Chains A and B, each alone.
Chain A
């Protein structure tokens, strides 16, 4: 195999780009955690230096705190200990979930021969809403498209006295989805409201 020397893009790098766009990097959680930890470490560092030079503690008496922990559950009121423990549990569970859950973003990928293409779900929804509106012959406010990873839900409120062809709407939406060929392909459901509204 002798690729073009100026060809720096490979299918593997394209797939990697797409994957990294579809999942959260946990950068925000990391920065917040890092800043909080640095603050805690700074306080401890300050107290340790005060101890080393033999000065009185400033904010936190490390020895007294250690003694209190040693005297648990006696030294602090039970309600405070319980609340603090639950708080730590919740915070720990939150961090663990952030680490373990995939953190999928509301985005799709469109296959393309040249580049890695990702689309916000909102853009897909707005395109589907336009197609559905044209197919149903209603105003933009009468169509609501909800899109999730596995399903697309199109809600149409018909104009009073003008029936809406649900199958035509479904076909238009399916056609638009098929042209986008978003992956993974969602399931489509069309709901036409029982009561109409006064049209524009």
Chain B
């Protein structure tokens, strides 16, 4: 449900894996194959000489060493920042806003707003923000907490659930609900799915939005140590 960059993760892991494989294979080849070892023995000094010439060529007057070290440092710093951004991008996408409608869009009573937010998801939110201040009578905001609490309160009444958690996430530009329920041992998942689905439909009626919902029926430590539902 989060916006973890899955393709990027796999691409980076694949590139790193290939690099490590190549390094390991090269090490083994130098160790075991005499031909490769002799080739490397003749190539390495030439590479070393090339690097030495490069260092001499880039050493400024009055300096002891090349400025390439500083360039290398800058490149490494950039790489570190990119890696930190990559880590920070994992598991993002939680949102605190369930819905927001400004007064003007609401004033046109449904029919008009259907025309401009029909096709493209995500357009609605930006439209609302852009037109939020010019001559509107007011705006309506439903925070995510309100919806989460409502659904959670309804789920807590069920005795066949050992635990629940509801959170709101950005799904393709619109807020969506993630409902995690932990049924007690032996509760048929189709019953849980149908009941939670019915509650979600009731929530649709209450909020007026038909939002993307993920119902995740899970098992966990809390369930494993709970007693089984005895009524059959």
Contacts and interface: CB of A to CB of B under 8 A. Distances in A.
A127 B6 CA distance: 32
Contacts of A35: 87
A38 B197 contact: no
Q: Which of A8, A94, A126, A182 has the most CB of B within 10 A?
A: A8
A84 to B, nearest CB: 6
A192 interface: no
A94 to B, nearest CB: 7
Interface stretch (A116-124, A148-156, A161-169): A116-124
A81 B197 contact: no
B76 A41 contact: yes
B88 to A, nearest CB: 9
Contacts of B83: 34, 37-38, 41
Interface in A11-28: 13-14, 16-18, 20-21, 25-27
B215 A45 contact: no
A26 B6 contact: yes
A131 B187 CA distance: 10
- Secondary structure at the A interface, as helix, strand, loop or mixed, is helix
Nearest to B190: A180
B146 interface: no
Contact of A100 (B14, B64, B76, B212): B14
A130 B186 CA distance: 5
B150 interface: no
Contacts, number: 274
A96 B215 contact: no
Given A48-B76, A52-B65, A88-B27, 10 more contacts: A5-B110, A27-B91, A30-B90, A31-B90, A45-B80, A71-B44, A84-B27, A85-B27, A117-B214, A182-B189
20 contacts: A4-B210, A10-B212, A27-B4, A30-B13, A33-B12, A37-B79, A38-B80, A41-B79, A49-B70, A66-B51, A72-B44, A73-B30, A92-B24, A114-B213, A116-B215, A117-B197, A119-B217, A123-B187, A126-B219, A127-B186
Interface of A: 1-10, 13-14, 16-18, 20-21, 25-27, 29-31, 33-35, 37-38, 41-42, 44-45, 48-49, 51-52, 54, 66-67, 69-73, 78, 81-82, 84-100, 110, 112-120, 122-124, 126-127, 129-131, 134, 140, 176, 179-182
